[in-house]
Amino acid sequence: MSDRLLRHIRELGEDQLPAYVYDLHQLHEHAAAIRAALPERVQLFYAAKANSDPRLIEVLREHVDGFEVASGGELHHIQAAAPGTAVAFGGPGKTPTELEQALQTGVDRLHIESEQELRLLTGLLGEQTTAVLLRVNLPIALGPVALAMGGQPSPFGLDPDHLDRCLALIAADDRIRLHGIHVHLASGLDAPAHLDVARQVLAWATDWAAEKGVQLSEVNLGGGMGVDYTRPGTRFDWTAFGSGLRRLLERYPRLSLRIEPGRSVTVYCGWYVTRVLDIKRSHGHAFAVLRGGTHHLRTPATKQHDQPFDILPVDTWDRPWERPEARDELVTMVGQLCTPKDVLARNTPVERLRVGDRIAFSLAGAYAWNISHHDFLMHPAPHFHHLDHTPVPVPAGSHP
């Protein structure tokens, strides 16, 4: 956590908690580093579904080649937040209205998920032409991954042996240009695992194209770059990934690559900050009840992990009774919801935690607020703060 962020969190009024605090400067630097690590022939798209906060999109548009959207709503939102930026439209179950919206607003690629989708598209195209990628569910050895989406029964993409019928439809319609292949097979991959997937995908795609007489100009490798919630200080190795892709691309001089990460781009810039309302013991076990909960930050419930956090001690206590605290013990951090699933972190060792202390959950910038069930129990929504990406000089003497 930067000094600036820490100061901001400490200065938030009691009535401003819970709050999401986005460090836009962190995002700016992180996205610039990702871009710098990638070869020129790799286009960087950001998957908007990870977090489509307009202020984040505004920062990211300086660094990315475009955005990947997966609904008409996201398409509209991104075109408003980052007008003029390239947009790729993917995702299953596109409606005719959404396809029409995509055609009218000139998205740069449509990722085709099924034969029926291609047929719908054919029916909607008038005079115009469009560039498509076929999304393929490739049987690729992935090793142990957090969330495998390919190579097994899946609602996403086309099995390789269903591609021929799509090729026939495309060949019969000169308004549709097949640009290449799209895959998004897993999430939670580290750089060596992702490079291994890339190697296998490119080998498959070029063999397939040669066999079918298809002119392949682009392969989209999807997202899924890993985020380690158990070790918040570690990062996906973008430098190793970038140089691995550079070496790999030497074998494919005419091919351009795209990637469309989401989580690994925005996760580190977001913090969910709240305070301890109560500390209690039940059957020998300590619970800290926090303002807010998984209706604001659903990530630990969906991913079944402990959300990492920092404790920001608050020394003032003006109640006439003894301040409840936990000391050198395991504490389970829960929210205000009346369900045992409202757990943010389980059995976490703490040195000292008191009622009134602040808690800042890190890695809350992706699949956090926007995937949460906000209205459950009707508690108020959190406040949102964006630390500007032009760093404000630290006033002299404000910290050691």
Site string for ligand PLP, 155-184 (x = CB under 6 A): -----------------------------x
**Buried-exposed string 81-92: b where 16+ CB fall within 10 A, e elsewhere:** bbeebbbbbbbe
What is the C-alpha to C-alpha distance for residues 79 and 100, in angstroms, rounded to an integer? Answer: 15
**Rounded CA separation 225/264 (Å):** 6
Return the range that interacts with ligand PLP (CB under 6 A); candidates 52-60, 169-177, 217-225, 236-244: 217-225
Q: Which is nearer to ligand PLP, 223 or 293 (CB)?
A: 223
How many other C-beta atoms lie within 10 A of the C-beta of residue 126? 6
Nearer to ligand PLP, 223 or 356 (CB): 223
User: Considering beta carbons, is residue 72 or 90 the nearer one to ligand PLP?
Assistant: 90
Give least dist CB 147 to ligand PLP, A. 8
Q: Which two tokens stand for residue 239?
A: 């430098």
Residue 365 found at the interface with ligand PLP (CB under 6 A): no
66: contact with ligand PLP by CB under 6 A: no
90 binds ligand PLP (CB under 6 A): yes
**Closest to 329 measured CA to CA, from 283, 284, 273, 362:** 284
Q: Is 194 in the site for ligand PLP (CB under 6 A)?
A: no
- The reply to whether 223 sits near ligand PLP by the rule CB under 6 A is yes
Task: Please report whether residue 300 would count as binding ligand PLP according to CB under 6 A.
Answer: no
Rule CB under 6 A: say whether 235 interacts with ligand PLP. Answer: no
The residue within the footprint of ligand PLP, chosen from 30, 49, 94, 179 (CB under 6 A), is: 49
With a CB cutoff of 8 Å and minimum separation 6, the contacts of 351 are 327, 328
Instruction: Evaluate whether 63 touches 37 at the Cβ level (below 8 Å).
Output: no
**Phi, psi dihedrals of residue 82, rounded to the nearest 5°:** -140, 65
Report, in Å, the least distance between residue 224 CB and ligand PLP: 4
- 166 tagged catalytic: no
- The number of residues in the chain equals 400
Please, what is the minimum distance in Å from the beta carbon of residue 299 to ligand PLP? Answer: 12
Q: Pick the closer one to ligand PLP by CB: 50 or 64.
A: 50
Cα–chain center distance at 248: 25
50 binds ligand PLP (CB under 6 A): yes
Select from 120, 75, 74, 66 the least CA-distant residue to 93: 120
The catalytically annotated residue of 338, 349, 375, 395 is: 338
What SS3 class is residue 46? strand
Q: Which residues does the annotation mark as catalytic?
A: 338
- Residues interacting with ligand PLP, by CB under 6 A? 47, 49-50, 68, 90, 184, 187, 222-225, 260-264
